[in-house]
Amino acid sequence: MFAARSQETRAVIIVALGVDSAAKAWVADWNAIRQRGQLTNAIALIDLKTDRKYGGILKYEAPRVKIDVTVANDEIIVKVVDFISPTVLSRLQQQAGVLSPQITDWRAIVDAVLIDPNFGHAVFNAAVVDAPEERGTLVRGTYHIPLTEEGGVVAVKVVSVLGEEVLAVSSPRRRRAKRQRQAPS
């Protein structure tokens, strides 16, 4: 199997930005078999997110989203209040020339908003998808969904322009009816 480089003893180095636990287990098994003499090359795995020596090259911060979910007039109103992606902002800073870029509308760094109005915590079923096709078109940010059942959990998935995803889950709160003031008699 390794006849072409049977004398090669250097380790194979894999550099990744995030490593699945199954991949870590596979590499550990590979290296254990290697120590028994059955395989030639060890595999070194460097995760730039967690490695103490090399991890300082990149600092990953997950995106954050703030949502407001209310129920009024037999509909669920989902509003994405704010979205921030430190990764997008750092990329913009790296590309900055004389002027540093300013993001005044969170929708400018969002590719898509997906909503599951009856989230069951196991599978995300998007009933609403806001992913504009035309370049320069922004997501709406506020969504009115017919109320099918009261007391459910609403999940909102926001996808950044770099493909980062963040999931926010909320139970809708009932919007209070405004009281009308009565004129003094």
What's the whole-number mean pLDDT along residues 109-138?
93
pLDDT in the model for residue 79: 97
Say how far apart CA 164 and CA 177 lie, in whole Å: 38
59: confidence class by pLDDT, cuts 50, 70, 90: low
pLDDT in the model for residue 54: 67
69: confidence class by pLDDT, cuts 50, 70, 90: very high
- The rounded percent of the chain whose pLDDT value lies above 90 is 39
- The rounded percent of the chain whose pLDDT value lies above 70 is 81
45: confidence class by pLDDT, cuts 50, 70, 90: confident
For the ranges 54-58, 96-100, 149-153, the maximum mean pLDDT occurs at 149-153
Worst-scoring range by mean pLDDT, 27-31, 96-100, 110-114? 96-100
Question: Is the pLDDT score of 40 beyond 80?
Answer: no
pLDDT in the model for residue 1: 45
DSSP state letter for 127: S
Phi, psi of 65 (to 5 degrees): -135, 145
Mean pLDDT value across the chain? 83
DSSP state letter for 109: G
Please state the domain extents for the chain: 9-57, 64-174
CATH code at 64-174: 2.60.40
Say how far apart CA 181 and CA 184 lie, in whole Å: 9
What the block records as the tokens of 154 is 């609403």
pLDDT in the model for residue 91: 76
58: confidence class by pLDDT, cuts 50, 70, 90: low
Entry pTM: 0.65
Query: Is the pLDDT higher at 54 or at 171?
Result: 171
Compute the Cα dihedral for 157, 75, 106, 133 and give only its sign. Answer: positive
Contacts of 109 (CB under 8 A, 6+ apart): 83, 85, 88, 103, 160, 161
